Each structure stands twice: as C-alpha cells, then as structure tokens.
Amino acid sequence: MHLTQVVLGVMALAVPTWTTPPPAAFGYNGTDFLLRGKPFVIIGGQMDPQRIPFDYWRRRIVAAKALGINTIFSSVFWNEMEPERGKWAGKKPANNLTDFVHIAKEEGLYVVLRPGPYVGGARDWGGLPYWLSRIRGLKVRSYNEPFLNATKKYFSRLAKDLGRLQITRGGNLIMVQIENEYGSYGDDMRYREALRNMAASLFDVPLYTTDGRDKLLLQDGQTPRFPLRDEAIAGTSSLGPHLDGEAHISKPLQWGPEARHHAGNDDPELIERYLRNLHMALSANNSLNLYMLHGGTNFGLSAGSLYTGNRTIPWASSYHDGSLLDEAGRTTPLYHILRAEILKYLPDASAVPSPPVNLPLMHLDDVKLEPYASILHTVSHTKTRKMPVYMEKLKQGRGLILYEHKVRRAANGTLQAGDRPRDRITVYVNGRRKGVIDSFYEQPAAVTLSLKAGDALQLLVENAGRTSHWRKGSGETNLMDDPFKGINGSVTVGSSLLRGWKIRQIPCKEPPILKKPIGGSVQKGSLPIYYMGKFKLPPLRPEQFYSEMDTYLTIEGGTRGIVWINGFNLGRYWVSGPQQSLYVPGALLRPGSANRITVLELKPWNMTLVARGETMRKWENRPDPDAPQS
C-alpha cells in the first residue's frame, strides 16, 4: 500500500466581492477531499499516456470511465518530454499531454499528474533523462543546484502546457504529485522543500507525495507543512484525507529464465485481496488509485532495470500486463470483477456507462525474415579515442555501442573492460564471437583471449536500461548516481593495456535502410545481423477500427534482439522470456499496402527468421543460451 503523506492547498483565488468566499474548486480538510466545497472520494486508476499509442487514448479513457472511476492518475516521463537537453518534445503526438488531459475532461474524468522529476515505474533511470549525467557536478534527487535548475525548467515547461487545464482555471487537473517514494531513497529535507516551493510557484492545485506505508519511509519522505499520513487507509487518523496512492492490482514483469508472468485473473486469493482492499477503502469513503488500471507498453528501449543482488535485471516491454485493461486495452475478467465491487459504492451506479466491447485481435500468417546486413555495414558515424568512453559522453542515451581495437602486439589472458559490465558485453575477435560478459548474472562469465598482432577485438555493449529503483539501506550500489553505460577507461587482456579504439554508436532509434539480402549463409558466432520481411494487409473496411488489427508479434528462430514495425521500435525480445511476443498496435500498420518488419538479431544463427502475429499473448520461459557455465 502506498499512502499520500502530502496534501498542500495552494489555491489561486480571485479577491471575492462578497462576505462569504466561494468554495475552492478542489481542496481538502481534516477528513475529506473537497470538490467545490463538497466531500469527494477519488476513485482513480493509473494510466500513463506515454505507454499508450496516442491514437488509442480515447478508447482507453472510455474503458476506464466504464470501470466506475472518476479520476485518472498519469505519470510523466521527463526523458520522453526532453530526450535531449533543451529539446522539448511535448508537441510530439505521443507526448501531447494537453490532448490526453483534454480527452479525459471530455469524457467526464479528472486527472492527477505525477511528473516526478523521478517517477520510477520501471522506466529507464526512473524517467530521468540520460543527459543529466553530462552536467558537471549534478547529483539527482538531492538539494543540488544543477539538478534543481534542470528540474525547474522541466516543471516550468509542463506548467506552461498544462496550467490552463487545472481545475482552478476551469479544467480537470485536480492535483500534482511531486517526486515518488522518496522515503525509500533518501532523507534530504532541503531537496523536498525546494521541490515543494518550486511546484507551488507553478501550479495552483494541491500538491502531494506518495510513499510506502512503513512509518520510517513516510517520515523520510515527509516535507514540512505537509500533513504526515501515519496510518493505513482504514485508520482513524484525522491528519487529512486518506489516499492510497498506489493500490497495486498487478505486478511489473522482468526478463529472465526464472522470471514469471503473474496473471491476477487466475489467482482466487489475489482477487479476494483486491476486493477486500476496495471494500476497506470505499466503505470508509477513502480514496485510492488502482495501480495499474492499464499498464501499457514500454515501447522501444524505454524500460529500465532493477539492480539487486549485484546483478542487473531488465524490465520487460510489457508493463503490468495483468492489469484491468490488458496491454492491447481489452477488458479482462478482473476488470469486470472489480467493476461490480466499485459500483456498489457509487451513489448513481446506473449512470456509469457499459464497458466497451472487446474488439478481436488480428492473426498474421508467417512472415519470412531474411538477413540483409551486418551491424557493421549500417553504422555511418565512427569516433576514435585512446580509451573507450561511456555512451553518455558521446551524447547517446540508449541502444548499443561497439568498441573496436586493432591489436598491435600479442596479448593473452582474461579480458577486463572497465569496472563492471554495463550491461552486456559481447566479445568478438575478427568478427567471430568469443563470449559474453553479462551483468544479468551475479558472477558474469570470464572471457579469456589469445590475440595476435593484426587481430580486431570488438566489444559490443548492450544498454539494458538504467536502474529505475534503488532502496536505501539495501547494501547495494546506488546506481541512481551511477547511470553510465558502455565502457570507460582501461581495457586489458592479461597484463596488456589496449590503447587506440574506434567507437561506433548504434542508438537503435530507427532501423537502417536495407537494400538487398545477404547471399550465402549466416555463420554462428557472427556479428549481429539485420533481418527484414514484408507483408500486405487488405484495406480497412469503413466500419472497421484500426485496433482490430492489433496483434502480438512473435519472432521464431531468434535468440535476442530488437524489433521495428514500419520503422517504429516495438522493443526487445529474448528467447529466455517470459515475454515471447511484442504488442503491435494496429495504428502502426498500413492497411492496403506493404508493411515492413525489421529485426536486429544480436546472436544470429539462422538463415531466416519467422515473424508471426497472434491473437493471444505468448508466455514461456526457456534457458538462457549465454548463461555462465558452472
């Protein structure tokens, strides 16, 4: 359970011309939230617009309203809004939060904004943009002038876009959360005060924070002049209205052969617990945010990782698939079970619209994917350095980076590249794979080499996502303060220090232009290869919705890689699972014309791969072929 420990009213009211001032648009007292002066129970659900195709925002919001909720909670990812320093991407359709909030208003729902600056949520670096690591002297989530200056610019830009949509100005935005679960991270009071003052100067609506229910976490996350929420949601404290800021009803998913997909729909004990929590809250007129109502997708390479037990475990592309609306936005059995419970507590349940009918998903016959080019033939920019440097120093946030050294003198022994793998280093000599050093494992494999003069040593580093969470007192390295990816500094083989490197950047935002297939055969152990295939769809019928072309894409014959459809990065695949298919929104497809699937297979061994679109999500765990040998 996550509780609000902060509710701060900063209403911007005109000077009244009558004796008794009108009630504030939205506020609170010792026991209740107040909507225009009357008690208001927030029945909310978490839905992050940047995890949903913008074409589908309205349909998802309509489905949320039919659940019986009155408010949508939405996290905002700074690294999507400002992917490069000073380059605001808020007008990009996927980031146009103004449109999302406006659609919610048209559908009769309020919105609570959760803009961070840190949000967590299994996102790369918890939603912080990678370029913060390039600012000299900056320390995230602390009373640090460079970080606070950058945050103020971010908050100010958000307020410029969304200020007019606050309820104090006739809109439907009722509250703003600052930071997230800070009590689990630190206890820097000056930082929390600075954030509060900053946000209060930009937003008119109440501000709040959310932390775990443990008393110590609440105390360390508390900010002066914010009421401390020191009891669970059913408690008797009168320090302000109760809000369970994250009433969890599903779990995020991680990659790996031991990771498991958890479907709440299939667990009677979980369902009973969800119903009990709903009853406990709503029967006492307390507020809550169902997390997640709709998880959506970490498209592209936007997912982060969890560093625990001295290993890096990446989050999957599918986020909270077991939530009330599945990844394709269809209602689940759990949705209907919880909807029936919510309706019991609504004064006018008959006014809640019926849930939308679930549209069918599309089956796509096998699409043959042929090899087109080695990764080396698709890199146009090469830099040279005496020693390798992190990708951030080269203004690269995500993807792959390839370091190449021409051996001058023979060298023998174990390879040591930097202080630790960040995150997965695949080692090649003369284009042939020699081993993998992967931080997914507590004890990554050691790679021993025997190099002779003239050999080409190639180190391909895959950024599997910056850590999204860190808990103080865990005894683990705080990677929130160390987000760097790639290799930096010395590379040795045995006692030999290798100097002189070519660096090729492969950010994987878009696939390269591929002209013709490779002839011959694909050799095991070769450098990564781009595969491509095309398929054609019939024209869209007048009565048909784009979402009826939604499908789950499976790559057969591949081991690990990245998938694009018509140039859009869907995300990663890994044979180890448990996620074995990627969600493809029909809005990305081109009915009546050719569609292109591109795959970067990081461990090619097949001459052809097969892509298949299925109507059901595929979950399966398989052994990792690159696991260290015991």
What integer is the mean pLDDT of 148-175?
97
The pLDDT value given to residue 239: 63
The pLDDT value given to residue 265: 66
Higher pLDDT, 480 or 575: 575
Residue 435 pLDDT > 80: yes
Give how far Cα 246 sits from Cα of 39, 180, 343, 618, Å.
21, 11, 20, 28
Residue 594 pLDDT > 60: yes
Check if the beta carbon of residue 342 is closer than 8 Å to that of residue 68.
yes
The pLDDT value given to residue 212: 76
H-only helix segments in 107-164: 145-162
What integer is the mean pLDDT of 593-610?
95
What integer is the mean pLDDT of 368-379?
93
Higher pLDDT, 141 or 238: 141
pLDDT tens digits for range 34-64: 999 999 999 999 999 999 999 999 999 999 9
The pLDDT value given to residue 17: 38
Check if the beta carbon of residue 264 is closer than 8 Å to that of residue 272.
no
What integer is the mean pLDDT of 293-299?
97
Q: Is cis: bond before 93, omega within 30 of 0?
A: no
Ranges 150-164, 216-230, 251-265, 326-340: which has the least confidence: 216-230
d(CA 91, CA 81): 9
Q: Is cis: bond before 391, omega within 30 of 0?
A: no
Q: What is the pTM of this model?
A: 0.93
pLDDT tens digits for range 469-511: 887 777 777 888 899 999 999 999 999 999 999 999 999 999 9
Higher pLDDT, 59 or 5: 59
Q: Is 161 helix (H, G, I), strand (E, B) or coil?
A: helix
Q: What proportion of the chain, given as a percentage, has pLDDT over 90?
A: 81
The pLDDT value given to residue 307: 87
Lookup result for tokens 């969800």: 274
C-alpha neighbours within 13 Å on the C-beta side of residue 260: 3
What integer is the mean pLDDT of 94-118?
98
Q: Is 44 helix (H, G, I), strand (E, B) or coil?
A: strand
Higher pLDDT, 176 or 227: 176
Check if the beta carbon of residue 387 is closer than 8 Å to that of residue 489.
yes
pLDDT band, very low/low/confident/very high, at 380 (cuts 50, 70, 90): confident
Q: In what order do the strands lie in the sheet with 33-35?
A: 26-28, 33-35, 38-40
| The two structure tokens encoding residue 543 | 């009565």
What integer is the mean pLDDT of 570-589?
97
d(CA 148, CA 142): 8
pLDDT band, very low/low/confident/very high, at 22 (cuts 50, 70, 90): low
The pLDDT value given to residue 483: 95
| The two structure tokens encoding residue 567 | 């140039």
Mean pLDDT of the chain: 91
Q: What proportion of the chain, given as a percentage, has pLDDT over 70?
A: 92
Residue 20 pLDDT > 80: no
The pLDDT value given to residue 4: 53
What domains sit in the chain, N to C, each tagged with a CATH number? 41-351 (3.20.20.80), 364-369+512-614 (2.60.120.260), 381-468+480-506 (2.60.120.260)
Q: In what order do the strands lie in the sheet with 448-451?
A: 448-451, 411-417, 491-493, 496-497
The pLDDT value given to residue 545: 87
The pLDDT value given to residue 260: 85
What integer is the mean pLDDT of 605-611?
93
What integer is the mean pLDDT of 125-133?
98
| The two structure tokens encoding residue 450 | 């025997």
Lookup result for tokens 């590379």: 491
pLDDT band, very low/low/confident/very high, at 321 (cuts 50, 70, 90): confident
Cα–Cα–Cα angle for 174, 179, 181, nearest 5°? Answer: 110
